[in-house]
Copies of this chain bind each other. A is one copy, B any other.
Amino acid sequence: MSDGRSTSTYSGENLLFLTDEQLRQGIEAMFFAYRGFTADPDRILADMAYGRAHHRAIHFIHRAPGTTVNNLLNILGVTKQSLNRVLRTLIEQGLVISKVGKVDKRERHLFLTDEGSSLEQTLSDAQRARMRSAFRDAGPEAVAGFRTVLEAMMDTEMQRAYTRLKETGA
Interface on A for B, CB 8 Å cutoff?
Answer: 1-3, 6-7, 10, 14-15, 17-18, 20-37, 39, 56, 59, 63, 77, 124-125, 127-155, 158-159, 161-162, 165-166, 169-170
Contacts and interface: CB of A to CB of B under 8 A. Distances in A.
B152 A149 contact: no
The 3 closest A-B pairs by CB, nearest first: A145-B145, A142-B145, A134-B152
A63 to B, nearest CB: 8
A82 B48 CA distance: 22
This chain: copies in complex = 2
B10 A136 contact: yes
**Residue from the set A10, A56, A142 with the largest chain B CB neighbour count within 10 Å:** A142
A77 B128 contact: no
A155 B26 contact: no
A31 B3 CA distance: 26
A43 to B, nearest CB: 11
B2 A129 contact: yes
Nearest to A17: B140
Contacts of A152: 133-135, 137-138
Contact of A132 (B6, B21, B161): B6
A147 B25 contact: yes
22 contacts: A2-B133, A2-B136, A6-B136, A7-B136, A10-B140, A14-B140, A18-B136, A20-B128, A24-B169, A25-B169, A26-B135, A28-B162, A29-B154, A34-B34, A36-B158, A134-B149, A137-B152, A142-B149, A144-B145, A145-B145, A145-B148, A146-B150
A30 B37 contact: yes
A154 B29 CA distance: 8
